[in-house]
Amino acid sequence: MPPTRDRQRDRLKGLLVFRVVLVTLFLGSAVALDVRTFASASEPRNLTLLGLIVGTYVLTIGHALALRQKLKTQTLAWAQILGDLGVTTILALVSGGFDSLFLFFFHLTIINAAIVLGRLGGLVASGITVLSLSYLALISAGALPHPILSEPPALRAWGTVAYEVIVNSVGGIMIAVLAGHLAERLGEATEALERRDIDLQELRALNEHILSSLSSGLLTVDGRGNVIFMNRAAEEITAWTSEQVLGRALSDLFPNLANAALGPSPNKDPRLESTFIRPDGREVHLGFSVSPLRNSESREVGRIIIFQDLSDIRKLEEQMKRSERLAAVGQLSAAIAHEIRNPLASISGSVEMLRADESIDAENEILMDIVLREVDRLNALITDFLAYCQPRPLRTERRDLRELLDELLHLYRSQAERDRIQLDVDLVTGPGPVEAMIDAEALRQILWNLLINAGDAVRGLPAEDRQVRVELRPSALSSQPAWLIAIEDSGAGVAQDLRDRIFEPFFTTKDHGTGLGLATNFRLAESHGGRISVEAPAHLKGARFELVLPAATDSISGSHPRLPSPEAAEEAS
């Protein structure tokens, strides 16, 4: 089986190098040792040797140029083998015939033919070698004249030259058969290795694609606890790149993870959880599992850590728990509020009747005024609370959030100027509308409440430190396009342990107020299909409240809005 074209081209290149080395080593040394070669270059023998050296170099250069032109390798291979046999025949003629030092070049050429052209090439080369040897025998026995030398070597007996021809011919044929067999085996082994290499590359590529396509983060560590692999999802979750992580100790990068992952029993707890602080300062909640990494001998050589970012899931769980608590409190409180309102009406009516008595002195009249004022205050509080517990149905319409914010901020600027508050506004720009299906009055109530709270938070600061920032930018909600409105202040912020309770009814950190403002905001945001949350500050040092509302889509209205795609939108915190 002849070798493939690419492999044959590679072998031809090796043959060129081998020929140059061989000619330089043997012919060059022979000429250099016999200085008379240069002294009497006109002699046919010396002239032939020099011509062979020069001609071999020229032909080698010609073959190399032909290879670069990407000519047929089969033709070039036959040309090189036939040329080498011709050069060897001439070399044997001028260097003593069967006594020539270079007679073994025939066998080398046969081997080269078998390597480059396969078993058939070796057999053809051995056949030509038999003809060349027969020609040498006829000249050595005197049957033919010497074509180059005027004084040929001494004639040899027919029996001697026949023996030389038979021995060298049989040896050449055996070499051709053996070299052809070895060349075929070498070709088969090379093809098998190439196929195995291709399979290995495909398997490695498939493995890399599978690992990079996993939505879960994957880390592998060696027996010393150093990270040796990190997939793309792990980079996105941790904000570390592979270049920053590979080779470093897991305990230095993920201390909480390392304590559980590198313990003596990785399978003891199939599912673990831990927190991780990313390089950008964001805290994520990780759920991970650990399993042993074993080699081909089933010996443990490290650990495999698979983890996911559970931060959004934890937030949803907290919101669900909060909603359940608020619903239960709301139902109970609404019933109590109704029961309280009825006695208040009786108290108010009774006091009004007593006050109408002209015999009431001034001191009792003042006391009655206090009772009526407090009854009105309690009645207003109950009215607000019932509005929270039993909100009116939303009257949603398609509105441009940027226009609504502009209107609201125009009203708030006068209060901000009065309180010497610096108002920074960063609204999304672009020719298209920023639309959502909202109840305009309900949204104004949410935003106005947040602005008032932000102003209250900075009012006690020096005038130069009073800052309130309002943002509007694209976001995403449950992988759908959404708009994010953020109101951030430079006040004291919200303590971490209070963030879970801040949207509960009657909870407030102010000295005054009912504690229903943020609870009402939370209920209204949920009614719009959105969410409101308190987050870590992004630009200032105080509290940051984020309201995320679903963007208007074609399924809601027939017109086509220009909205951010889910891929381009940033997932809301």
Report if pTM > 0.75: no
Taking the C-alpha atoms of residue 523 and residue 357, their distance in angstroms, rounded to an integer, is 46
Give the architecture (CATH level 2) of 215-309: 2-Layer Sandwich (3.30)
Question: Can you list the pairs that 197-201 forms with residues at least 24 positions away whose Cβ atoms lie under 8 Å?
Answer: none
Cα–Cα distances in Å, from 333 out to 329, 340, 390?
6, 10, 11
**Tokens 């443990």 found at:** 300
Under 8 Å between Cβ of 416 and 361: no
User: Which residue ranges in the chain fall short of pLDDT 50?
Assistant: 35, 37-38, 555-573
Under 8 Å between Cβ of 65 and 109: no
pLDDT recorded at residue 292:
84
Which residues belong to CATH 3.30.450.20 in the chain? 215-309
Taking the C-alpha atoms of residue 62 and residue 50, their distance in angstroms, rounded to an integer, is 18
Which residues belong to CATH 3.30.565.10 in the chain? 397-571
Q: At 424, is the secondary structure helix, strand, or coil? A: strand
pLDDT recorded at residue 353:
81
Give the architecture (CATH level 2) of 320-389: Orthogonal Bundle (1.10)
Taking the C-alpha atoms of residue 102 and residue 129, their distance in angstroms, rounded to an integer, is 13
Superfamily of domain 397-571: Histidine kinase-like ATPase, C-terminal domain (3.30.565.10)
**Tokens 């984020």 found at:** 546
**Tokens 């070796």 found at:** 122
- Count of alpha carbons within 13 angstroms of residue 38, beta-carbon side: 8
Across 129-145, b (16+ Cβ under 10 Å) vs e yields bbebbebbbebbbeeee
Q: How would you class 344 by CB atoms within 10 Å of its CB: exposed for 0-12, middle for 13-18, buried for 19 or more?
A: middle
* 8-state DSSP, 428: -
pLDDT recorded at residue 514:
65
Taking the C-alpha atoms of residue 454 and residue 489, their distance in angstroms, rounded to an integer, is 6
Other C-beta atoms closer than 10 Å to the C-beta of 286 total 21
Taking the C-alpha atoms of residue 114 and residue 129, their distance in angstroms, rounded to an integer, is 14
Q: Which amino acid is at 32?
A: A
pLDDT recorded at residue 566:
36
Q: What's the farthest any 2 CA atoms get from each other in the chain?
A: 169
Under 8 Å between Cβ of 314 and 285: yes
Q: Which two tokens stand for residue 49?
A: 């040797």
Q: Which two tokens stand for residue 480?
A: 């759908």
Which residues belong to CATH 1.10.287 in the chain? 320-389
**Tokens 């801040």 found at:** 502
Pairing state between β 544-550 and 397-400: unpaired
